[in-house]
């Protein structure tokens, strides 16, 4: 099977595509892949690190306001379609899969025009503009949140698959998670992170509540600041406390996030769809702080799905401070029954077989009459 993957801009679009590739590889080592992305996008760095062949097209996203830049974007789109048709004709894929971000627009559109089976995957509760556009051309649309199917009324076929990142974390080694952090196995871990790049608002709340953390016994707090904020955050905490206590661990980035998640009792995080897929797959209770700086405010919609199910507590960024964050953490960590109930609710939302469901749909599309 020959598979073209496309999607980018953020890890939330890239990692699901990689997860699909990994599941296909586990199924058969003879499968071949090509990833088409943007040279300027995060995928140009991450995808080669995953040892997947990478090609690029020149494309930018549309501005939501009337702008002359949109005229240039339209021109780039059609140039991207031409470039994509050339790459597809050379690679001869059995299927093309788009996982969101404007870069997959020309690629999936080109594949549809060439008669190649196509599939798109939408990670968020509110679909992005590119996937809304492509849903009219794709042979199949996969959604991560149950109930999101109705967001694609013009699609030929829509199915609830979950997010393939949920499958990725299932094999994570919990012991290695504890060992990598230098934390005893019998401890409880509260993991606080603002995503791979960090979040200033969350870091400020983390700094503000640092002196209160000792009141929660046998709980280790792991602050993942993002590399940009690491030095300033660490120094701010040190100046506030005078020394770094044993129960507080401040790191710029976590390379083995699935293993650390497997060891985590409670997570405080943004509400990116791929991350939510991982934590629900593992049944981790959460305090979610949606980013207000995303298209259509989709992170708040993502977070509300978990909150309404009882798996999470949400704090809007406008309400976030050291007191509100510590109050939510204390409420959960001092109430084992609540923690267990949230964990069960989180697990019920999880879709650990997501990658298998998507690959099954891939086979259906390829072998259909």
List binding-site positions for UDP-N-acetyl-alpha-D-glucosamine. 10-12, 124, 196, 299
Report the alpha-carbon distance of residue 63 to residue 37 in Å, rounded. Answer: 19
Name which of 168, 120, 89, 144 is nearest 6 in CA terms: 120
Report the alpha-carbon distance of residue 289 to residue 297 in Å, rounded. Answer: 12
Name which of 49, 125, 34, 48 is nearest 86 in CA terms: 34
What's 115's DSSP letter? Answer: T
**What are 15's two structure tokens?**
């990692």
Q: How many CB atoms lie within 10 A of CB 185?
A: 10
Burial class (CB in 10 A: 0-12, 13-18, 19+), 62: middle
Name which of 86, 72, 71 is nearest 36 in CA terms: 86
The beta strand positions in the chain, using DSSP E, are 2-6, 32-38, 54-57, 95-98, 118-122, 140-143, 158-160, 188-193, 219-224, 248-251, 266-269, 286-288, 312-314
CA gyration radius, the chain? 21
Which positions make up the binding site?
10-12, 124, 196, 299
């Amino acid at each position: 099977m020959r598979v073209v993957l496309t999607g980018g801009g953020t890890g939330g679009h890239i990692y699901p595509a990689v997860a699909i590739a990994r599941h296909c590889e586990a199924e058969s080592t003879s499968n071949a892949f090509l990833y088409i992305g943007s040279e300027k996008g995060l995928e140009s760095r991450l995808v080669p690190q995953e040892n997947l062949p990478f090609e690029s097209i020149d494309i930018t996203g549309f501005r939501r306001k009337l702008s002359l830049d949109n005229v240039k974007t339209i021109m780039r789109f059609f140039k991207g379609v031409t470039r994509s048709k050339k790459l597809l004709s050379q690679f001869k894929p059995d299927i093309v899969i788009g996982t969101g971000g404007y870069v997959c627009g020309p690629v999936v559109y080109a594949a549809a025009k060439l008669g190649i089976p196509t599939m798109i995957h939408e990670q968020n509760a509110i679909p992005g503009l590119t996937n809304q556009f492509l849903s009219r051309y794709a042979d199949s649309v996969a959604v991560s949140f149950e109930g999101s199917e109705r967001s694609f009324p013009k699609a030929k076929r829509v199915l609830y698959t979950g997010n393939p990142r949920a499958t990725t974390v299932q094999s994570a080694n919990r012991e290695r998670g504890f060992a990598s952090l230098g934390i005893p196995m019998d401890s409880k871990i509260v993991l606080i992170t603002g995503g791979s790049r960090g979040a200033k608002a969350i870091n400020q709340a983390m700094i503000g509540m640092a002196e209160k953390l000792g009141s929660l016994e046998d709980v280790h707090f792991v602050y993942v600041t993002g590399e940009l904020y690491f030095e300033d955050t660490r120094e701010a905490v040190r100046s506030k406390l005078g020394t770094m206590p044993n129960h507080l661990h401040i790191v710029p980035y976590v390379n083995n996030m699935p293993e650390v998640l497997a060891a985590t009792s409670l997570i405080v995080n943004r509400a990116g769809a791929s991350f939510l897929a991982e934590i629900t797959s593992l049944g981790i209770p959460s305090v979610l702080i949606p980013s207000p700086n995303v298209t259509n405010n989709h992170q708040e919609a993502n977070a509300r799905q978990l909150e309404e199910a009882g798996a999470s507590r949400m704090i809007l960024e406008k309400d976030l401070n050291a007191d509100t964050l510590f109050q939510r953490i204390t409420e959960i960590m001092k109430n084992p029954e609540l923690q267990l109930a949230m964990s069960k609710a989180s697990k019920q939302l999880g879709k650990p077989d997501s990658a298998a469901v998507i690959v099954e749909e891939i086979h259906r599309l390829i072998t259909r009459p």
